[in-house]
Amino acid sequence: MHRVVILGSGFGGLHAAQALRRGPVDLTVVDRRNFHLFQPLLYQVATGSLSPGEICTPIRAILRKQKNARVLLGEATGLDAAGRRVILADGATSCDTLRYDTLIVATGAQNFYFGNASWQEIAPGLKSIEDATAMRHKILYAFEAAERDPDPTRRRAWLTFVIVGAGPTGVELAGALAEIARDTLRHDFRAIHPEESRILLLEGSPHVLPSYPEKLSMDAEQSLIKLGVLPRTNVRVTAIDQASVTLDSGERIETRTVLWAAGVAPSGFGKVLASEFLPAALLDKQGHVMVSPDLTVPGHPEIFVIGDLAHFEQDGKAIPGVAPVAMQEGRYAAEAILDRLRGVTRPPFHYHDKGSLAVIGRAAGVADLGRLKFGGMLAWLAWLFIHLMYLVQFRNRLIVFIRWGFQYVSFDRGARLITGEDQPPQN
């Protein structure tokens, strides 16, 4: 049997595995987590709308009926390209190395702080469940700390929320946070008024949602303003500490809650591919692996790189690192493997862009579907439907649908839990 190893069970890795379900292959999926994470809804975990289990599905449950697949919990830390072996971190077990005939690398991305690693402890991003629960802790604890702090200046700092980055994640996070303050928590406190919170959305580009057409960006900005969010464009953050954010203009914003949505970087496995084991793998400035038209590493047709780790150019520019790209690349890699086994050469990969959606708040969103561009309630409904359909299991779809329906009617968010270690108010 042809041995296929897939590193990572995100959108790309999972779709590749499922596309190989009827192929004459011996498939192994390796991930350092035992679950598939639906990342587009992480911000709803961070804002108490959903619980972690509602956007995660165990990998073994997904591939349970796929008889040619097995799942290993582990982290790939090295590669022997000549010997076609993946080296796993837990070398004390019998699975310290894993042989392959074809390797699909889909290890995803991580938060990127533009060389300021110290910001990570202060400003959590949104790439993992741990990130989301840490952000939820930070948001909800800010209201609790403000309630018990008698000093007006410190209280104002606790009720000032700064979101860095106004891409889809930042916009969706800002809208959800505004709804928490304005609706969900409005009557829950006695000493403070959550609806008077300041929510600042900072963006270095001239518009929020910079990848969208200008008209939709302006519509999104107006929707955010109606929710009470204060978008600030053409500004850049130069410093973040426990008590403030400093902008390139020299302005210092007093805040105890900074949330990061400004950038991501490819996983560290790109450096493994570019190491002495595989000198043919070239990285771009951000650390993405430069791949051939068939998504393989130049000189190594047995190694596919897909998803957020890959740098693939189409029509003269790199395609974005979003879920639809990863899913299409995963299916392509699987079909290319099956074609090879049949002695057929597959044409180069081509990404079919079906458009982009972003939700801003209650019954508000924007949709860029090629020739069709619209906003408002219709875009919001389209976003809800598509995200429900992309959730892996029917159980998760049903639970999320019920939660969204209840939240729409009641304005309540049932997962407002402060978990993790307490951080006492810093006076």
Segment 265-307, tens digit of pLDDT:
999 999 988 885 667 778 998 899 999 999 999 999 999 999 9
**Average pLDDT of the residues in 26-30:** 97
Mean pLDDT of 31-37: 95
For residues 198-218, give the mean pLDDT: 96
pLDDT of residue 24: 96
Residue-wise pLDDT tens digits, 224-246: 999 999 999 999 999 999 999 99
Task: Look at residue 363 in the predicted model and tell me its pLDDT.
Answer: 87
Q: Which residues contact 50 (CB under 8 A, 6 or more apart)?
A: 41, 44, 400, 403, 415
Q: Which of 75, 121, 147, 172 is catalytic?
A: 172
- At 276 the pLDDT is 57
Give pLDDT, residue 419: 84
Mean pLDDT of the chain, nearest integer: 92
Q: What is the pLDDT of residue 92?
A: 43
Residue 47 confidence (pLDDT) above 90:
yes
pLDDT of 95 reads 52
Which tokens is 325 given? Answer: 């790209």
Is residue 22 pLDDT above 80, yes or no?
Answer: yes
Domains of the chain (ranges plus CATH)?
2-110+265-341 (3.50.50.60), 117-262 (3.50.50.100)
With pLDDT > 70 as the criterion, what percentage of the chain qualifies?
Answer: 96
39-54: average pLDDT: 94
Q: What percent of the chain has pLDDT over 90?
A: 81
Give the relative orientation of helices 323-341 and 11-19 as an angle to the nearest 10 degrees: 30
pLDDT digits (tens, 9 = 90+) for 173-197: 999 999 999 999 999 999 999 999 9
Active site residue 172: yes
Tokens of 149: 């702090």
For residue 421, pLDDT beyond 80: no
**In the prediction, which pLDDT does 423 show?**
54
Q: What is the pLDDT of residue 94?
A: 47
- pLDDT-derived band at 30 (thresholds 50, 70, 90) equals very high
Residue 424 has pLDDT above 50, yes or no: no
pLDDT at 78 over 60: yes
Please give the residue that has the higher pLDDT: either 91 or 86: 86
- pLDDT single digits (tens) 128-144: 999 999 999 999 999 99
Say whether pLDDT at 207 is over 60.
Answer: yes
Cα-based torsion angle of the residue sequence 175, 129, 168, 254 in order, rounded to the nearest 10 degrees: 60
Which one has a higher pLDDT value, 395 or 356? Answer: 356
pLDDT (tens digit per residue) in 374-393:
999 999 999 999 999 988 88
